[in-house]
Structure 1
Amino acid sequence: MKSRTLRIVSLWLAVAAAISAVLPLHRAAASELPYETYYKDGFGQLVHTQAAYIPAGIIGYNTAIAGQGSGSADSTGKLQLNQPKDLFIDQKDHVFIADTGNNRIVELDAQGAFIRQITVDESPLNKPSGVFVHPNGDIYIADTGNNRIVRLNAGGKLLKEYGRPDTDYIPASFKYDPVNLVVDKRGFLYVTSLGAFQGLIELDPDGQFVSFFGPNRVSFSVFDAFKRLVYTREMYQRELKKLPGAIANAAIDNQGFIYTVTKEVASDQIKKLNIAGLDQLPGKGDFSSVEPVRSYGEVLKHRAGDMNPQLNDITVDESGNMTVVDTVWNMISQYDQNGNLLFFWGGDAITATSKTGVVKTPAAIANDSKGNLYVLDNTNNLIQVLRPSEFGKLVHQANALTQEGKYEESEPIWEEVHRLNTQYTPALIGLAKAAYKRQDYERAAQLYSQAGVVGGYSDSFWQNRLIWFQNNFGLAMNFVLAAGILFLAWGKWSRKLLPAGGLGGKLRMDIPFAKKLGHVFTIARHPVDGFYGIRHEQKANLLSSLIILIAAAAAFGYMQAGTNFVFNPKVHVGIDLLPQMVQFFGLWFGWVVSNYLVSSLLRGEGRFRDVFYGSCYALFPIILIGIPVTYLSNALTLDESAIYHFLKLAAVIWVVLLAVWMVQGVHNYTFIESVFIILLSIFTLLIIVILIFLFVSLSYELVNFIKSIYQEVIIR
């Protein structure tokens, strides 16, 4: 027994020593990564995460040429790439590189060893920019310099050339410069032509034109609609044509979905197209309720005026995860099959010479069957190999199970991910979906709320509310019945117990201030007469007006900060009420001033204090409707959003109508004249805002000028 105990103790000591020896190495390796990895949710909140991928090596910098192939090379030399543009990894994990500057295709094995180079001796390549290997072994090359697609068999023998399609459906001005292509299982080709805004060129296996596939839409703004409305045909024809963005690259997955990336657009840069060319990504993300128009390609900090990400290539792994490279910010972003962000990372392009893991100019990206990423560096003429980290593997495994609907199986893995990084939102979402699946709706709602997923929270809340009603319906009905009986009894006996007019009416008669404050209900019932009473019968004073103004501002603030995040997702990240209050009071006071100035020039009878009082009382709907609607928002779901938005719209319309009736009653205008005065007042308010902006800007410039002169004098 003693010897057995000693053996067990010795074994544990050996294991502990091994762990202590290994862990510092892992920590050192993690700390030496040349980039940081991040996650960004639908609200733009940035979260630092563990590395999803770790540098695993470089191909091309010191890769020896170990054999000879088509177009042999010196076996003692090095693999010298020259401005490569594309790479592709086949089912055997062989790497095919479009070595554009050397007019060849290079094939490497799964370990990165050179196998052969393909130059097509019978019809030499000229600046090949894209390569694709079909599951049957055929090799397709986008031979850009020769304006053609070349099809070779697995041995590199020329089978067919696809030149410019001979069809009337392609305009004569169309420039056919194939730079990339994908081929589906039927043998249909989808060719990316340089600058072709019409979309991918779809060809059948014989090279006959089928159609343009998956084009981007032209963005159409309000200003464009205005120009179309007021411009003549000649003026509109002289306008520069507004064209959609041209597809930069494409990929295809095992299920036949075709993925495209576009550079010259600010949103929907990634598309997942089915066989009919319809995008499958819109509306499927976890944050689609918050961000219906999705923007892909992540950056750490994006300021106004900065260039948008320019996605150059995309690859899709066996789980449907999409990984894209950005040529402007040198970032790599990864999304799941529904477009939800998983990770993004990048390095300093200035120091990116041949540093492992850092890409200076990412030209292309591909992945192998093991989940490794291969990023082609066009400037350094090499390939960076990245392997999934343990954290990345956990996320991919859990997310794949979630996408397949296996929520219970994914839950323990998501729990481990959450333990490793409590701020990583996809783990919260995965756990929430698992809780919803097992009908733990309270926990699901809590997790969805913590993650900020509006749709999931709304569904969970609906289930919780349904259960509450089922359990408490009888009690609620009894309470309503009792309240109704008490109300009827009070209406019957109050006439006998209270003096004529009621206690409230007695108080209102005895306190003049209460009468002025209660005049707001007269305005609600008879607005024109009510505002006329403010002007000619002194039905309002400064104190009552200020009380209503302050109450309206408080109600407005409560609406901004108290609305459930289902209808106001900004509350998830916090609402800064100070700018909201400044805008509220600034616009309101600007309206008072502008309306008084305009009406005083156009025979308006109201004094400044009348406009001030009336404008305060016109804000009453914000109090009367805004507070109950805000409170009600915490009991509604997305399916009942029409009720919430209708009530908010009713409050806005009521305020607008009261403003019209205020101008009519205070200044003695007709209804049409009041509308005209209000439009002039709004225009005057805009002029005032512009003048204030110019004054502040010029003052800032003057201060800087004086400061620079002062510094110049001090220096001299």
Structure 2
Amino acid sequence: MKNRRLRIRPVIMVLITAIYIAWPGLQAAASQLPYETYYKDGFGQLVKTQAAYIPAGIIGSNVRIAGTSGAADAGKEAKLPFNQPKDIFVDEKDHIYIADTGNNRIVHLDAQGQYIREIKVEESPLKKPSGLYVDKSGEIYVADTGNNRVVRLDPEGKLLKAFGRPESSYLPAGFKYDPVNLIVDKRGFIYVTTLGAYQGLVQLDPEGEFISFFGPNRVAFSLFDAFKRFVYTREMYQRELKKLPGAIANATIDKNGFIYTVTKEIQTDQVKKLNIAGLDQLKGKGEFAALQPEKSYGEFFHFTQQGISPQLNDITVDSAGNITVIDSVWNIVSQYDLNGNLLFFWGGDVITATSKTGIVKTPAAIASNSRGELLILDSVNNFIQVLRLSEFGSLVHEANQLTQEGRYEQSEPLWSEVHRLNAHYTPALIGLAKAAYKKENYERAEQLFYEAGVVNGYSESFWQNRLKWFQSNFGTLMNIALALGIVYLLRNAFSAKLRLKRKGAAKPRPRHPLLEQLNHVFYVMRHPVDGFYAIRYENKAGILSSLVLFALAAASYGYMQAGTSFIFHPAVHVGVDLLPVTVQFVGIWLSFVVANYLISSLLRGEGRFRDVLYGSSYALFPIILIGIPVTMLSNVLTLNELSIYNFLKLLIVLWAALLLIWMVQGIHNYTFIEAVFIILLTLLALAIIVVLIFILISLSIELVNFINSLYQEVVIR
């Protein structure tokens, strides 16, 4: 036994030594990726994930071609240098075509990146080709930008037809035709992306005749634009610079015929999935559609990057419908599923002096092949970065595809594994929630949808749980209702006898003045003008009662913000900070009181400052009277009852607004129309006060920074 231990000990020591030596290498392998991968949920919370794609190599940096036969260098090999390549296309055989713009040619590589040929179209040379497309028959379409045309080549690279600027009365006279990219559908219709064409893609038939503009973006219309339309004259409008929609930067087409476009100059809906009628199929879809009515594409890592919007310049769609876009500003790659739900995004800091495998300095184009790899064209380094799916990425893709196909139960074990690997990855929670809902495990589905922050799924699960609870407790509820009815009838029967007995009793003692003043609020609700008039001339309100009502209104408003159901106020999912909410409520109320008193004093108002203060407090009572019950009711409602919830909230706003008008009418002795006019002037004065406060704060911050910089300068010197 002792000898056996002596023999085992050296083996253990050797193993420990080997692990100790290999451990730094293992750590380096785990952290050698030059970029980090993230996920961002509908609330903007970043979650770091395992890498979805890992570098698989570089194509184009060291490709060698054989010399031309008969030439001096025949039989020799030479390097293939790209010069400012602009586009890349992968055909059904995974062959790679590159628009080598600076060399005025198309380069054809095989699936492994080995050189096959170059296409220059000797009979009509290309000039700065910027985009290309290869159809199923092998015909090649090239956006020949320098020649302002589109050329169609046979599989051998011979010219079949050239399409110049289409002749049509529907094209504006000043339309500039500079093709930079193109796609072709199954019918042979060509969709040309032209430089700066805000009208949309130029749709041509197979013979090159103009059909229409396809999939244009809409012009953003702001509140200030509405104001200008209301105020400006026709001449002033004509002198205004025209607002144009964003021009489509690039486009691609999937196997089902959907056309995808990306646009740089807009803030939302930068990615569109268009059907044959040009309607966006991503609009209103996605798991977080309730949180993001207008979805923004193109992600960023840090809040400091929010100052400059991502500029998406190319898009690709894989066989499963996953959408991948590249950003030319932050060099970030973002991937979404077929409904526009974010899956991953990644990127790394670009250092001009160095190049790393997997990091693209200036992404010009992106494509995907049948193996699920991404090929990103770097126009500065003049090569193609190849990224392949990691095990984690493959697992997510497979699980997500099953979920999108409605096979929730089959996807459950895959999502469980994803959740095990990364418990904070929201798509895994959504997939598990859908599987639980499919299996009618609504309680678990409700919990998972809430953790994921998905409003629609949570509402549907809650509706099922509510229905089940109601069915189980229907008998008990009916018994309670019957008992309450009997109590009500008995109360009415005995109330007459009690009133007769009280007639001969002694008069009740007077109540405390504070209680009398608080009770006056109910009179104000029934007779608002008379009630506010009594506050001014009969001293029916006081500072203490007003402060009590205002404090209750502020507390009720805070409760509405923090206590409303997740269905109707999704922000409660990440928590509501009541301090800024309360400060905002108090600040607006005080500013309104001051502004109304100042405006009314200038326009023969009879109310004193304290009267305005008291009346404004009493006018907030609907927030207490309706706000608290509505907030409590929201926790038993679903999205199916959204109209009921919105009506009750609107009732609070309208009632409080009318009470403020009646307050001005009763306290200042105005007519109703005059009171409305005073309220409008008060709101204008309130806006001016807010702007002045903002300017004062900004100048104060600048002054503090200036004094601090002077102090630092003195200390340093």
Q: TM-score normalised by the shorter chain: which range applies? A: over 0.9
Aligned counterpart, 1:440: 441
**Per-residue CA shift, 1:280-325, capped at 9, x if unaligned?**
1011111111101111000112458722111010000000000000
Letter in 1 for 2:461: S
Kept in 1, the 8 Å contact 2:67–2:78? The answer is no
Aligned counterpart, 1:358: 359
Could you say if the C-alpha distance between residues 373 and 607 of structure 1 is closer, same or farther in structure 2, counting changes exceeding 3 Å?
same
Could you say if the C-alpha distance between residues 603 and 567 of structure 1 is closer, same or farther in structure 2, counting changes exceeding 3 Å?
same
Aligned counterpart, 2:50: 50
**Per-residue CA shift, 1:409-448, capped at 9, x if unaligned?**
0010000000100110000111111111111111111111
TM-score, structure 1 length as denominator?
A: 0.94
Following superposition, the deviation at residue 683 of structure 1 comes to 2.2
Letter in 1 for 2:201: L
Q: Could you tell me how far apart the structure 1 residues matched to 2:533 and 2:711 are?
A: 58
Specify the SS of the correspondent of 1:656: helix
Q: Could you tell me how far apart the structure 2 residues matched to 1:587 and 1:229 are?
A: 28
Could you say if the C-alpha distance between residues 113 and 304 of structure 1 is closer, same or farther in structure 2, counting changes exceeding 3 Å?
closer
Aligned counterpart, 1:105: 106
**Per-residue CA shift, 1:535-571, capped at 9, x if unaligned?**
2222122222111111111000000011112111111
Kept in 2, the 8 Å contact 1:213–1:277? The answer is yes
Following superposition, the deviation at residue 682 of structure 1 comes to 2.1
Letter in 2 for 1:628: P
Following superposition, the deviation at residue 233 of structure 1 comes to 1.8
Q: Could you tell me how far apart the structure 1 residues matched to 2:502 and 2:658 are?
A: 31
Q: Could you tell me how far apart the structure 2 residues matched to 1:86 and 1:265 are?
A: 23
TM-score, structure 2 length as denominator?
A: 0.93
CA RMSD in angstroms comes to 2.5
Could you say if the C-alpha distance between residues 406 and 17 of structure 1 is closer, same or farther in structure 2, counting changes exceeding 3 Å?
farther
Q: Could you tell me how far apart the structure 2 residues matched to 1:551 and 1:492 are?
A: 36
Aligned counterpart, 2:12: none
Specify the SS of the correspondent of 2:356: coil
Q: Could you tell me how far apart the structure 2 residues matched to 1:585 and 1:43 are?
A: 27
Aligned counterpart, 2:675: 674
**Per-residue CA shift, 1:324-374, capped at 9, x if unaligned?**
000011100000000000000011122574310000000000011010000
Q: Could you list the runs of 5+ residues in structure 2 that have no partner in the other structure? A: 1-14
Greater Cα shift, 331-340 or 530-539: 530-539
Could you say if the C-alpha distance between residues 19 and 89 of structure 1 is closer, same or farther in structure 2, counting changes exceeding 3 Å?
farther
Kept in 2, the 8 Å contact 1:67–1:115? The answer is no
Following superposition, the deviation at residue 509 of structure 1 comes to 3.9
**Per-residue CA shift, 1:63-102, capped at 9, x if unaligned?**
2326869999985222211100000011111111101111
Could you say if the C-alpha distance between residues 536 and 438 of structure 1 is closer, same or farther in structure 2, counting changes exceeding 3 Å?
same
Aligned counterpart, 1:215: 216
Q: Could you tell me how far apart the structure 1 residues matched to 2:75 and 2:168 are?
A: 45
Kept in 1, the 8 Å contact 2:607–2:668? The answer is yes
Kept in 2, the 8 Å contact 1:84–1:100? The answer is yes
Aligned counterpart, 1:537: 538
Matches within 5 A, 1:625-636: 625-636=626-637
Matches within 5 A, 1:548-567: 548-567=549-568
Letter in 2 for 1:406: R
Aligned counterpart, 1:521: 522
Kept in 1, the 8 Å contact 2:263–2:313? The answer is yes
Kept in 1, the 8 Å contact 2:69–2:75? The answer is no
Following superposition, the deviation at residue 491 of structure 1 comes to 2.5
Following superposition, the deviation at residue 599 of structure 1 comes to 2.0
Could you say if the C-alpha distance between residues 75 and 357 of structure 1 is closer, same or farther in structure 2, counting changes exceeding 3 Å?
farther
Specify the SS of the correspondent of 1:57: strand
Following superposition, the deviation at residue 278 of structure 1 comes to 1.0
Letter in 2 for 1:562: G
Matches within 5 A, 1:268-667: 268-303=269-304, 306-351=307-352, 353-497=354-498, 509-667=510-668
Specify the SS of the correspondent of 2:94: coil
Kept in 1, the 8 Å contact 2:66–2:74? The answer is no
Q: Could you tell me how far apart the structure 2 residues matched to 1:298 and 1:500 are?
A: 76
Kept in 2, the 8 Å contact 1:353–1:380? The answer is no
Specify the SS of the correspondent of 2:77: coil
Could you say if the C-alpha distance between residues 36 and 622 of structure 1 is closer, same or farther in structure 2, counting changes exceeding 3 Å?
same
Aligned counterpart, 1:165: 166
Kept in 1, the 8 Å contact 2:67–2:77? The answer is no
Could you say if the C-alpha distance between residues 230 and 567 of structure 1 is closer, same or farther in structure 2, counting changes exceeding 3 Å?
same
| Percentage of pairs with the same residue | 69
Specify the SS of the correspondent of 1:179: strand
Could you say if the C-alpha distance between residues 61 and 693 of structure 1 is closer, same or farther in structure 2, counting changes exceeding 3 Å?
same
Could you say if the C-alpha distance between residues 405 and 27 of structure 1 is closer, same or farther in structure 2, counting changes exceeding 3 Å?
farther
Q: Could you tell me how far apart the structure 2 residues matched to 1:590 and 1:347 are?
A: 48
Task: Tell me, yes or no, if structure 1 residue 183 matches structure 2 residue 184.
Answer: yes
**Per-residue CA shift, 1:660-715, capped at 9, x if unaligned?**
11112222222122222222222222222222223222233333333333344444
Q: Could you tell me how far apart the structure 1 residues matched to 2:636 and 2:586 are?
A: 30
Q: Could you tell me how far apart the structure 2 residues matched to 1:526 and 1:600 are?
A: 25
Q: Could you tell me how far apart the structure 1 residues matched to 2:502 and 2:125 are?
A: 103
Letter in 2 for 1:656: A
Greater Cα shift, 182-191 or 365-374: 182-191
Could you say if the C-alpha distance between residues 376 and 567 of structure 1 is closer, same or farther in structure 2, counting changes exceeding 3 Å?
same
Q: Could you tell me how far apart the structure 1 residues matched to 2:280 and 2:18 are?
A: 51
Kept in 1, the 8 Å contact 2:523–2:531? The answer is yes
Q: Could you tell me how far apart the structure 2 residues matched to 1:82 and 1:589 are?
A: 65
Q: Could you tell me how far apart the structure 2 residues matched to 1:73 and 1:587 are?
A: 83
Count of residue pairs the alignment pairs up: 701
Specify the SS of the correspondent of 1:241: coil
Could you say if the C-alpha distance between residues 49 and 665 of structure 1 is closer, same or farther in structure 2, counting changes exceeding 3 Å?
same
